[in-house]
Structure 1
């Protein structure tokens, strides 16, 4: 390969790639340098993750600002590794739930349960497993941390993709059938593009959700097992333990820099790219912009380098649908079909009952019914906090999200700020919360509650922004032409347009608030410790003490509350959105 300057007689100089004979612009060179730098950082970070576990004792986490770039890189790589796993999980599980009613009967309740299980609950039972897979290596602890971050990212993405597939316009589905799309072609040409705008905003929220639980994911303490992986989360945990306010400030500054970088280099270009998948019949007057996306579109070298990665997908999409003779259909009556559905439901119920029996037997070995009643009482206290906080967050962020979503230029400006605020770990506010409660003798049951919604309220904002941006331009123009304004506009266009997205955001926000209760209901600053009466504090105490029966009891009670809440409120709203508020 040889590059040389080409004389363009007064025009902007170009580089000529002699072997291929194609001219390369400065955009090609800049994009290539970005890709090369990203590859070097990934290789370096991956190499550090495979070091011996004893290296953590030789070089423990220290509060030296010179180490923050390395710590920030390690944390960011964990975030994106978990995000990749979350995407695979989303496309597989959510698609299966949307296409199969029988699978939906299992998957959706399972997602309700899984999103209710706190990060600490997963760590309690997975740290030993992952470290056993890679004995004596940091890779085991890294896998445990990545899995913990995955559990804070995957559920809202899965619910978003599921909601989009369930509200897919019927005319688009009919067109895909008339053209004979194979299941894979329908997936890549119809379902993924239609779901992309909402999914992108939930991906950004998932990254921020991972930051919110970064301390619990990297500074792992379960009973006698303590592992502090190099990262911003471990830095924060050490700074809080040592009551070092300056170190907390350094960590927040590092988070801000990292979030600004991946917003400009990853998410802003993805948002601009995803705008072309909006479902509308007229062109939008305002579109999100990204300098990097515009730069990549002008490059030749990057497209050539990335082309081989698209060949497998294009090959799969080009596979013609085989013309096989139709299989003989088993004709069954409606009554028989209902009977088969009930049998399937019975099998699911028996499997769940068996799992409940195993958990109950494990808990009953060392606990009493009084412990169960106490856990349910703590659950009612946390439930009251969740309901009040979600209602308040909805009243605040739905109007703001609608205003931002209808103005793509403002969405671009607000996007990095919203990501930073959503990523702001509750642990950073522990010094102020503990000091204020102790000095002014405030009630922890009230004043620790806002910490629960600090990182979860943004699920509502991000989904409302996505929903407002997905309202077709022709509908907005028609409302403007006919003079529909004020409450009438909200009732006839605004609220129906964002409602499916709001339900997804509120459902994941409520589940995330239950998860965040473990961080928010029991806070420490140095040797000072403040607790609120609730299920989160109950689980946090049990986890720290290594009391596995009480951990299992707390997680089981939390799952019961979350599933009941979802079934009573959010699932009926999902059904209403699917029946009445889809764009057809």
Structure 2
């Protein structure tokens, strides 16, 4: 017997009556879910109260490193991370859709994304701290917004690149189907584009969340223009313990970080990855699927279905609004003469704005230091470029085979996902004491050892994207290969490499940018009174940020952006174009 009447009887039953009927069938599972949500909301409100307390830029900052402070610090850090993740998801949808749907905007937005991902977190913080403190004077909310913005900048670019790629490689059949059904742009987005990119979006979101953990110390313990700002959080706690050389409290911070990462994985990412399995494009059901205890528990509850019924009128309203605005009826064969005219006008306006900005920047640097300021960072950038190349090549050789193995095995995914998430999320700063001890004990130069620390912040982009690409390969194709007896090198050549190539390119682009960004914390390794400094552009930018040397900071960020964009244009974009034209689904 169905829980609700169907047919004409359902039409005569009002929505409030159906909701009341559903609530009358509440079970103990529903009570547990409701209690958990209420507790979560209560904790969020209690922790959120600390974000609006009074704050003065002249007051001294002292971080309490007593272990009893860690639960509150962990809650504050988690709140920032999830607020930044929400902002990153919204940004991903808006930015990626704008770049994928407009050829003219794509020419501006994608190169701009290359530049944005190459700007180190410290480069954003320098502007963000000043701006948000001025926006919220006398309130801790200014620093909170600056910290969240810094975490956002470590999360958003990878997610945006991944979703943009899924939009540009959308199968033509799905495009034609949405047109034949006269979908509005809103319907196309939710019913076609988001499901097609759901698996990659979830895994890239997980990786981006790990990137936020990696830069937690830099975003919570901020040193700008010889001023130190700090917020309650695990990152600032670890930073203070590292500065004091207190190994015991560093250990407590490491333990807290591990508990946080495993908890977030169990209660949030594992259910999402298991739920995203339903978006795999295959004709036969997989023999083994991912499972999540939390997701299974939620599916036994009536709350998701009840919430869906409450939100259904909102969806219908958005669909009707989309009909009023018009369907997605972009012509398959556009007017080339009209397009050429528009391209010229767009190029003139965009080029004029870019040239004006460059002229203003050159004038500022000429007045302050002269254009010779670019010489040193250009040379230092070559050293960092060599480290980035080693990180990307090494990560590819090591993690692509492992990522394919994990993506093909749901059982292995359940085992490896929390372990990989912990490793990917672990801030390199927490390992500084061990790194300093190891480098001094073995005599290993930080110029070489910095590669290992950079890898901690970059290699996981390749692994996670490879896993997502392997998981998106339909099970029926793998079974067909098994039936045909295709093994070894031929299996990699005919199935695996074409299947994961688009995802790998996305991971390679973001891993390259992530390695450049990670250089700001990997080329300067402090612990107590000892500081090891490598020769490189990351150390140059870190020093300019700490001393408030804005001309040198601008020069360093500009040179780093030049290296990243040049590398992407000459190498990664060609691979991306190949993925779009030859290996699209």
TM-score grouping bracket, smaller chain normalisation: over 0.9
Shift of 1:101: 0.2
Work out the CA distance in 2 between the residues paired with 1:344 and 1:350.
10
Alignment partner for residue 195 of structure 1, among 190, 194, 197?
Answer: 197
Mean Cα deviation higher: 252-261 or 342-351: 342-351
CA contact (8 A) 1:359 1:552 kept: no
Mean Cα deviation higher: 472-481 or 146-155: 472-481
- Sort the Cα spacing of 1:467 and 1:172 in 2 relative to 1 into closer, same or farther, 3 A: same
- After the TM superposition, which residues 229-378 of structure 1 pair with which residues of structure 2 at under 5 Å, given as runs? 229-305=231-307, 307-309=309-311, 311-319=313-321, 321-322=323-324, 334=336, 337-338=339-340, 340-378=342-380
What is the aligned partner in structure 1 of residue 81 from structure 2?
A: 79
- Sort the Cα spacing of 1:531 and 1:105 in 2 relative to 1 into closer, same or farther, 3 A: same
TM-score by length of 2: 0.92
Work out the CA distance in 1 between the residues paired with 2:567 and 2:366.
26
- After the TM superposition, which residues 418-457 of structure 1 pair with which residues of structure 2 at under 5 Å, given as runs? 418-457=420-459
Provide the secondary structure at the position in 2 that maps to 1:221.
strand
- Sort the Cα spacing of 1:318 and 1:263 in 2 relative to 1 into closer, same or farther, 3 A: farther
What is the aligned partner in structure 2 of residue 511 from structure 1?
A: 513
Work out the CA distance in 2 between the residues paired with 1:299 and 1:562.
48
CA contact (8 A) 1:56 1:228 kept: no
Alignment partner for residue 184 of structure 2, among 160, 167, 182?
Answer: 182
CA contact (8 A) 2:215 2:427 kept: yes
- Sort the Cα spacing of 1:95 and 1:64 in 2 relative to 1 into closer, same or farther, 3 A: same
Shift of 1:85: 0.4
Provide the secondary structure at the position in 2 that maps to 1:153.
helix
CA contact (8 A) 1:32 1:302 kept: no
What is the aligned partner in structure 2 of residue 482 from structure 1?
A: 484
Work out the CA distance in 2 between the residues paired with 1:357 and 1:254.
48
CA contact (8 A) 1:499 1:577 kept: yes
Deviations 1:111-138 (A, max 9, x none): 0000000000001111011011111110
- After the TM superposition, which residues 95-244 of structure 1 pair with which residues of structure 2 at under 5 Å, given as runs? 95-244=97-246
Work out the CA distance in 2 between the residues paired with 1:380 and 1:535.
8
Shift of 1:390: 0.3
What is the aligned partner in structure 2 of residue 470 from structure 1?
A: 472
Shift of 1:430: 1.1
Shift of 1:382: 0.6
Shift of 1:21: 6.7
Deviations 1:344-400 (A, max 9, x none): 234333322222222222222222444311110001111111011100000000000
Shift of 1:187: 0.3
Shift of 1:420: 0.8
CA contact (8 A) 1:28 1:302 kept: no
CA contact (8 A) 1:434 1:523 kept: yes
CA contact (8 A) 2:362 2:371 kept: no
Shift of 1:282: 1.6
Work out the CA distance in 1 between the residues paired with 2:96 and 2:104.
13
CA contact (8 A) 2:185 2:327 kept: no
Provide structure 1 residue ranges, at least 5 long, that are not aligned to the other structure. Answer: 1-16
Work out the CA distance in 2 between the residues paired with 1:521 and 1:310.
52
Alignment partner for residue 396 of structure 2, among 394, 397, 412?
Answer: 394
- Sort the Cα spacing of 1:523 and 1:25 in 2 relative to 1 into closer, same or farther, 3 A: same
CA contact (8 A) 2:408 2:471 kept: yes
Q: CA RMSD in A?
A: 2.4
What is the aligned partner in structure 2 of residue 459 from structure 1?
A: 461
- Sort the Cα spacing of 1:130 and 1:121 in 2 relative to 1 into closer, same or farther, 3 A: same
Work out the CA distance in 2 between the residues paired with 1:99 and 1:529.
48
CA contact (8 A) 1:218 1:234 kept: yes
Shift of 1:200: 0.1
Name the count of aligned residue pairs: 566
Shift of 1:220: 0.8
Work out the CA distance in 2 between the residues paired with 1:523 and 1:565.
27
Deviations 1:209-258 (A, max 9, x none): 00000001000110133211000010011011001111111111111111
Provide the secondary structure at the position in 2 that maps to 1:317.
helix
CA contact (8 A) 2:432 2:527 kept: yes
- Sort the Cα spacing of 1:488 and 1:132 in 2 relative to 1 into closer, same or farther, 3 A: same
Work out the CA distance in 2 between the residues paired with 1:21 and 1:293.
20
TM-score by length of 1: 0.93
Provide the secondary structure at the position in 2 that maps to 1:149.
helix
Deviations 1:129-165 (A, max 9, x none): 1011111110000000000000000000000100000
Deviations 1:255-312 (A, max 9, x none): 1111111111111111111111111122122211011111111111454356545542
Alignment partner for residue 531 of structure 1, among 530, 533, 536?
Answer: 533
CA contact (8 A) 2:183 2:328 kept: no
Work out the CA distance in 2 between the residues paired with 1:432 and 1:575.
42
Work out the CA distance in 2 between the residues paired with 1:251 and 1:494.
40
Work out the CA distance in 2 between the residues paired with 1:328 and 1:507.
30
Shift of 1:510: 0.5
What is the aligned partner in structure 2 of residue 541 from structure 1?
A: 543
Provide structure 2 residue ranges, at least 5 long, that are not aligned to the other structure. Answer: 1-18
What is the aligned partner in structure 2 of residue 94 from structure 1?
A: 96
Work out the CA distance in 1 between the residues paired with 2:390 and 2:416.
26
Name whichever structure is richer in helix by fraction: 2
**Runs of 4+ residues deviating >6 angstroms:** 17-21, 323-329
Provide the secondary structure at the position in 1 that maps to 2:557.
helix
